[in-house]
Amino acid sequence: MPKIHILPENLSNKIAAGEIVERPASVVKELVENAIDAGATRVFVEAEDAGRRLIRVSDDGEGMGPEDARQAFERHATSKLRTESDLAAIRTMGFRGEALPSIGAVARVRMVTAPTGASIGTEVRVQGGAWVHTHEAATPAGTLVEVEELFYNTPARKKFLKSNPTELAHIVHAVQQQALPHFWIHFRLTHNGQVLLDLPIVRDEMERAMQVMGPEDPRDFLEVSAESDRFKLKGLVSRPGNFRATREQQEFFLNRRAVRNASLSHAVSEAYGTLLAKGRHPVSCLFIEVDPSTVDVNVHPAKREVRFRDNQAVHQFVKTALRDRLRREGLPAGESGMYEIRSGVDAPPQTVAYPAPDAGTPTAARPFSGRPTGEVREAMEVYRPLDSTAEPSGTALLPVRVQPFGQVDQTYIVAVFGGDSAPELHLIDQHAAHERLLYERLLSQQRDARVAVQPLLIPEVVEFPAAEAVRVREILPLFDRIGLEVEEFGERSFRIRAVPALLGMVDGRTLMRDILDDVSAGATPAAEETVQTVIASMACHAAIKAHQPLQPEQMARLLEDLYRQEVPPTCPHGRPIRVRFRLTDLEKLFQRR
């Protein structure tokens, strides 16, 4: 008996579904793409229970007759391709004919459709890959697809789904990705009866991009447009100062298809060059047009990744276009060895120096309001001594014998440690040192459930795009655990009422976004590791920055706090805090021994 045999159709469909239908958002993406390819000018998406219970997509595009409606659920049945040359020049969103059969294999699906001008439509029902029935139905022109009980027959797949807010955020993002390049279509997304997105038809991609970005300030972005004999580019990129902690806010569209491509992300970063602080990434929404025959969109089951015939040429074109646009704004893009323009609270201070605050006045006794600007922003950057009366639990206090002598590049403190008998030369990274001290203090407060908070005189209202607002709601308990008091203030708005007192004056908007980025990278909000990651981000925000001048008394107090505690030798992100040279090391360097 032969060992190799052909898989049953229902099993092969489930295997295909595993590649294409990863989560409810995958279903939304495939159905919306079908609606776009059908020439729709209206695409409405409804979801219940984050798509677990129901996904409904309706459109006013070109519907199907009875024969096509039934054929659509057969594998590799498509209206987009007939010859091999068609694949090389493909411009439609879908083309493989795998979406509907794959969805039908793992859910209960009902489709009602009718072509324009037809007096009657067709209803098709499929369940777990098996036909239920096909019959006539009264329906307007267009197509409606309902997907119920996704993964009802594949419980293992169902267990891998994340929380409802996470799955809903993926659905919102899937609709946004389809809406961005298709500005001539009205998109609407509702969840459990609540409208999350409503994007009417607009004039062009730029207007649609601002629709989707929602509350973002248009002044935070630059329009970019470029064209060569091989490529066209248009879109929006962020001005320096509007950077994020991850690349999740970078969107690329190739011939109106949302794609992921490491080379494109790298080109964007290369264009900004030294304008980018370490660990920061520009926001971008770029629409690129190329000859379809020069790109392969058939390299990923869900068509998310592409391969360029001349990857280097595309990279160079995008980098040059963005760099030229930044230079027209008077920004020294891509010029190494210049200076860093840092985002948010990372902006380098002026040459004005301020005395250290009086340690006898608790920070929490000085309430403040809003986002710091001007002189207040400069004042907030000086070193604030930690409360010496409340050290992290288990921290040993050590005798301090360290004397600072100055700064190198206003970043590294030069100090001598020890007595005359065994002196050591120490170079201390002022940002890493302060960041570690703040991290240990904040972590201790959080573990003891006694985070000291500082109320805002005027609470700061922060708005987020729809997908991010869903995620913020999910992590509100996390904000509370770390001393950031945030409450809902509308559909996409949140109000910051208080911040951890140790942070002093921080930009609440930027801090919330960076925390959201930390958690959005696949972390579990309630996990201790996530809490530590978020606290590290908070400490980084509030710590003294590189290239920041310090007065001698400020350096002395920072080193006193650092050396009298037994703390790890690195900052929370793993960079060393100090480098030391023993007297014997110096003697070897100068060939004295």
195 and 57 within one domain: yes
In a domain, 586, yes or no: no
pLDDT for position 39: 94
In a domain, 355, yes or no: no
In a domain, 159, yes or no: yes
pLDDT for position 361: 35
pLDDT for position 566: 78
Q: Which among 110, 115, 145 is positioned nearest to 127, based on CA atoms? A: 110
pLDDT in tens, the chain (593 residues): 666 766 566 666 655 555 689 999 999 999 999 999 999 999 999 999 999 999 999 999 999 999 999 988 887 555 554 454 544 455 555 444 578 988 999 999 999 999 988 989 999 999 998 889 999 999 999 999 999 999 999 998 899 999 899 899 999 999 999 999 999 999 999 999 999 999 999 999 999 998 888 656 667 899 999 999 999 999 999 988 788 888 888 999 999 999 988 899 999 999 998 788 777 899 999 999 999 888 887 666 556 678 888 999 999 999 999 999 998 887 655 543 333 323 333 333 322 232 333 333 333 333 333 333 333 333 334 455 554 434 444 444 445 588 899 999 999 999 998 877 788 899 999 999 999 999 999 998 988 888 888 898 889 998 888 888 888 988 898 888 888 899 999 888 999 999 888 887 777 788 888 888 878 655 666 677 788 888 888 898 889 999 999 999 999 999 989 988 878 888 888 889 999 898 888 888 898 87
257 and 335 within one domain: yes
pLDDT for position 269: 93
Residues with Cβ within 8 Å of 374's Cβ and at least 6 positions away in sequence, in order, are: none
Spatial distance between the Cα atoms of 316 and 299, rounded to a whole number of angstroms:
23
Q: Looking at residue 46, which CATH number applies to its domain?
A: 3.30.565.10
pLDDT for position 360: 37
416 and 503 within one domain: yes
Spatial distance between the Cα atoms of 509 and 494, rounded to a whole number of angstroms:
10
Spatial distance between the Cα atoms of 545 and 531, rounded to a whole number of angstroms:
23
Instruction: From residue 475, give the alpha-carbon distance in Å to each of 10, 165, 515, 574.
Output: 40, 9, 9, 26
248 and 151 within one domain: no
307 and 389 within one domain: no
In a domain, 144, yes or no: yes
Q: Which among 176, 140, 211 is positioned nearest to 28, based on CA atoms? A: 176
The CA-to-CA distance between both ends of the chain, in Å, stands at 82
Answer positive or negative: Cα dihedral of 316, 319, 324, 325.
Answer: positive
pLDDT for position 319: 96
420 and 526 within one domain: yes
217 and 189 within one domain: no
Hey, how many other C-beta atoms are within 10 angstroms of the C-beta on 5?
7
**Residue that is last in its domain, among 310, 341, 372:** 341
In a domain, 353, yes or no: no
Hey, how many other C-beta atoms are within 10 angstroms of the C-beta on 407?
18
Q: What DSSP line would sit under 276-301, residue for residue?
A: SPTT-EE-EEEEEE--GGGEE--SST
Q: What DSSP line would sit under 180-192, residue for residue?
A: TT-TTSEEEEEET
Q: Which among 282, 158, 156, 515 is positioned nearest to 523, based on CA atoms? A: 515
Total domains in the chain come to 3
Q: How many residues does the chain have?
A: 593
Q: Which among 534, 510, 511, 536 is positioned nearest to 521, based on CA atoms? A: 534
Long-range contacts of 263-267 (CB under 8 A, 24+ apart): 263/308, 263/311, 263/314, 263/315, 264/288, 264/314, 264/315, 264/318, 266/315, 267/314, 267/315, 267/316, 267/318, 267/319, 267/322
Hey, how many other C-beta atoms are within 10 angstroms of the C-beta on 225?
12
Spatial distance between the Cα atoms of 42 and 144, rounded to a whole number of angstroms:
12
Indicate the pairing of strand 250-254 with strand 284-289: parallel
Indicate the pairing of strand 108-114 with strand 121-127: antiparallel
pLDDT for position 516: 85
In a domain, 356, yes or no: no
Answer positive or negative: Cα dihedral of 537, 539, 541, 543.
Answer: negative
312 and 214 within one domain: yes
- In degrees, rounded to 5, the angle at the alpha carbon of residue 75 between the alpha carbons of residues 70 and 79 is 70
226 and 194 within one domain: no
**Residue that is last in its domain, among 201, 230, 262:** 201
Task: Give the E-state strand segments of 169-249 in sequence order.
Answer: 186-191, 194-199, 221-227, 232-238, 243-244
Q: Which residue has the tokens 């690195």?
A: 570
244 and 127 within one domain: no
Q: Which residue has the tokens 């009902």?
A: 110
DSSP bridge partners of 407: 413
**Residue that is last in its domain, among 178, 201, 224:** 201
In a domain, 346, yes or no: no
336 and 215 within one domain: yes
Query: Which tokens sit at 189?
Result: 């997304």
240 and 196 within one domain: no
Instruction: From residue 447, give the alpha-carbon distance in Å to each of 371, 384, 393, 443, 525.
Output: 28, 22, 10, 6, 16
pLDDT for position 77: 54
Element (H, E) at 97: none
Owning domain of residue 94: 9-201
Q: Looking at residue 567, which CATH number applies to its domain?
A: 3.30.1370.100
In a domain, 357, yes or no: no
What number of H helices and E strands is found in the chain? 18, 24
